[in-house]
């Protein structure tokens, strides 16, 4: 049975705080050790798979501009047995950028040895549909 998960919501929020603080060792502890692990970023080349990529992912977050402020616009989480997921939307201000970006992330979790681990992560920045649908009227 699928049910809301306050536990996974708390884990998800801790993940985002850890990313903001750039704690590489702690970041890696959130990630699944399984070969099924997948991590999808916002840029075309940001696609990692397998536990051997954990260090590279942690480095990725330390190379990006520091996050000056993050406002949570929406956050929800659900679980069903040993699988769960969360969906979060944040408004993010990066240091050196005046305008914020709206950042969306889905985290898929698997319970491994009694702890929730990120098995898949997907992130995107919102963009208007008229950027890739030329015949569509511009979004208001």
Per residue in 119-139, pLDDT (tens digit) is 999 998 876 666 666 666 665
b/e burial code for range 113-128 (CB count within 10 A of at least 16 → b): eeebbbbbbbbeeeee
User: Model confidence over 56-65: pLDDT tens digits?
Assistant: 888 888 888 8
User: Model confidence over 81-124: pLDDT tens digits?
Assistant: 999 999 999 999 999 988 999 999 999 999 999 999 999 999 98
Residue in 98, 92, 99 with CA at minimum distance from that of residue 73? 92
**Domains within the chain, CATH numbers bracketed:** 3-125 (3.10.450.50)
């Amino acid at each position: 049975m699928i049910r809301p998960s306050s536990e996974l919501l708390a884990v998800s929020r801790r993940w985002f705080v850890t990313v903001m603080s750039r704690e590489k060792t702690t970041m890696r502890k959130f990630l699944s050790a399984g070969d099924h692990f997948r991590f999808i970023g916002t840029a075309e080349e940001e696609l990692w798979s397998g536990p051997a990529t954990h260090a590279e992912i942690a480095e990725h977050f330390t190379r990006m501009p520091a996050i000056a402020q993050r406002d949570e616009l929406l956050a929800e989480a659900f679980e069903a047995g040993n699988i769960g997921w969360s969906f979060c939307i944040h408004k993010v201000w990066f240091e050196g950028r005046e305008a914020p970006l709206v950042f969306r992330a889905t985290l898929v979790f698997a319970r491994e040895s009694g702890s929730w681990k990120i098995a898949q992560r997907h992130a995107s920045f919102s963009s208007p549909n008229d950027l890739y649908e030329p015949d569509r009227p511009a979004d208001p």
